[in-house]
Chains A and B, each alone.
Chain A
């Protein structure tokens, strides 16, 4: 963006038109959403939508949230239309982003009210599922952030997650939960180290190296699980980390059960995101890591060891992904199935890009993906007129829209994907 400040008036004009054009597009989107909500959701919803906010067993029971469906949706449509018109009138300001985000939230709320009209639906259950579903995506995204900040493209997140899941199940069965978790982190770190060795020392193409690690891990884990686990079932039966309620905080209605009554992995993910943010943006080591990602030659000139910085950060990324992988087995079912990560590592990669290569951004993006996922699962139970396959597509379509519409040409670290040869 440095070039912008020095450009002449002509291109400043161009920049302005780009902004107004973007504002106009957002305006169209918002008015389109308003029309959708008014015509489809508001006209067809009858009765009241009941959202359950607490379990009867909770310490403080909160009454259910009852929303009259049709009036709520007409109101939502009106607000959306207002936001859209406002975009046309005085768009292009910093409010564009906020109004489109608010607009999407309102549209999702309207959709929920429409889908549950005349029925009842556990809102806290869905939010709790959102947080759980977001964990592997957030940790995968964080692993991506750590390695891409030192300019190593990490397609191997998927393989590292799978390796963590496998090791968690195997070693968890032998050594118990904590031992399994430790081994999962170590094995994840090992694959991070291998990735670093392939791309830093042997200068292999980074994407190829990542794809190869994914293939290799998929091959090994599937082979062992069909060759060994099928015979010795005791090796694939790990203890599971149960939810642990934080005293006092866990008793707060709604957010208590969503945020403070989860298992180790949820807390771990939040802590890791905080630590990573502090490390990357507030310590000298983080500054060094980022400089290696932006301009390795300059970093090298200043005496930073580019190679070892890359090794360390990619290994750390692998350890984070190994921890995230253990969630699949030690954090939920306790047993390993072939290819059980099912592409979540790639969604983690999307979360990293959507989160603009920032740990907190990746966590937020992961929560959005997790929300879409749990929404689809809950709605399949409520039964809506939409075929469940299309609901299942929703998170992926949302990802495409998000990556295309919001992020656009967001900037990766400048040296991302390029090997560095010391002179």
Chain B
């Protein structure tokens, strides 16, 4: 790929897209592997620094492995944790592609979850084939509408979406507290803020109860897979997706090409919010079966990492979500088995993203394993 003229570079680039070369392989496989290894090593150093002995460190990483992929129960936990991360991460990735930095997944998850839980407990006696899709749809629509507030503000007034989505997050926490205190929402006979339970016809059915009734993996995994395919199709096979990507890459060029910037912003935010709302609906319909204070549990923020790690590509987001789900499930095991706080997982996640988002840094730490910078100059 040493370039002699512009035309040669262009040809090289076009060919490169057709057949992924060594550079892609380095970026997509070697860098992530190095990133995970370095993050685990630094995690061990952090444990050493806080006076955890070597034996416990070994035990905790063993527990991390076992808790994430070591048994059918851990696999089920990994997938269960991954579902909302992937769904919300897809939404954020879509926003990133359109040039929108949406920090509001957390709020959209909460609003989507509230809507889903209301539909979930309000219609007892409805057949599940109508009730369950209706509850999921309610979550998606609520999340989408909530996110499009920020989209509309950006399009109409230029208010930056980072600020407005953060504010909408903070508003949604208070909204959840308020809603959970309402008499028609609160579970009968309870004074603490817990919503009524979702009736069985709106629950996402558990899939593996035949093997072990404790396995929590639920039908949300099909929603997740469907969403990955849908987002892939939307982004790369439709005109709307092309418009999203074009206005993300170069808003001015997109506008001169006749694309309606405002509409694209609102649409992209609404789609992103719908996916996050779906993630919230999945949590309340599949895992919790009710809404509780703080049920979003920071998923919306982890989803930002997932979308970044997945390089805003649907397939990448899927794998990143699985990795984070595995770290989460393994981290819980680690806390129980080795007594090391689950907060360590947060450090490891942050380090993985640093190394993946800054390939230059990984190359600086591991000069071997990569071709010389001069060779891979594009």
Contact = CB atoms under 8 A, between A and B. Distances in A.
A396 B357 contact: no
A226 interface: yes
A208 B353 contact: yes
B144 to A, nearest CB: 18
Interface size class of B (residues with CB under 8 A): 35 or more
B297 interface: no
* Dominant SS among interface residues on chain B: helix
B250 to A, nearest CB: 13
Interface string B341-378: 10111111111011001101100100000000000000
B160 A215 contact: no
Nearest to B49: A224
Nearest to A217: B350
A226 B178 contact: no
B93 to A, nearest CB: 13
Contacts of A218: 346
Interface residues of A, number: 46
Given A204-B357, A389-B174, A399 B347 contact: no
Interface in A400-420: 400, 403-405, 407-409
Interface stretch (A88-96, A270-278, A342-350): A342-350
Given A224-B50, A389-B174, A219 B167 contact: no
A204 B356 CA distance: 10
Contacts of B156: 404
A141 to B, nearest CB: 12
A10 to B, nearest CB: 20
Contact of B340 (A203, A227, A390): A227
A396 B170 CA distance: 7
B357 A223 contact: no
Given A223-B341, A226-B343, A216 B350 contact: yes
A389 B175 contact: yes
B163 A403 contact: yes
B27 interface: no
A219 B46 CA distance: 11
A41 to B, nearest CB: 22
B162 interface: yes
Contacts of B353: 208, 211-212, 215
A23 to B, nearest CB: 16
A304 to B, nearest CB: 24
Contacts of B349: 215, 219
Contacts of B78: none
Contact of B162 (A198, A204, A349): A349
Nearest to A345: B166
A416 to B, nearest CB: 11
A349 B308 contact: no
Interface string B163-200: 11011111100110110010000000000000000000
B304 interface: yes
A198 B361 contact: yes
B153 interface: yes
B158 interface: yes
B174 A390 contact: yes
Contacts of A390: 174, 178
A216 B158 contact: no
Contact of A399 (B163, B177, B343): B163
A345 to B, nearest CB: 10
Contacts of B5: none
B305 interface: yes
Interface in A184-214: 198, 201-205, 207-209, 211-213
A353 B171 contact: no
Contacts of A224: 50
A219 B346 contact: yes
Contacts of A223: 46, 50, 341, 343-344, 346-347
A62 interface: no
A346 B177 contact: no
B229 interface: no
Contacts of B153: 400, 403-404
Nearest to A405: B157
A220 interface: yes
A60 B169 CA distance: 45
Given A215-B350, A222-B346, A397 B167 contact: yes
A392 B308 CA distance: 32
A203 B360 contact: yes
B175 A219 contact: no
Contact of B308 (A211, A219, A222, A346): A211
B50 A219 contact: no
Nearest to A215: B350
Contacts of A12: none
Contacts of B354: 198, 204, 209, 212, 216
B101 interface: yes
B15 interface: no
Contacts of B181: 389
Contacts of A228: 50-51
Contact of A389 (B103, B177, B340, B361): B177
A393 interface: yes
A393 B346 contact: no
A385 interface: no
A212 B51 CA distance: 25
Given A216-B350, A227-B50, A227-B340, A208 B357 contact: yes
- Kindly name the residue among B51, B101, B170, B345 whose own CB sees the greatest number of chain A CB atoms within 10 A: B170
Given A219-B350, A220-B347, A223-B344, A209 B357 contact: yes
16 contacts: A201-B360, A204-B360, A209-B354, A212-B353, A212-B354, A215-B346, A219-B347, A219-B348, A219-B350, A227-B341, A349-B162, A390-B174, A392-B174, A396-B167, A400-B168, A404-B157
Given A155-B162, A350-B163, 7 more contacts: A198-B361, A202-B360, A209-B354, A216-B354, A227-B343, A390-B174, A403-B160
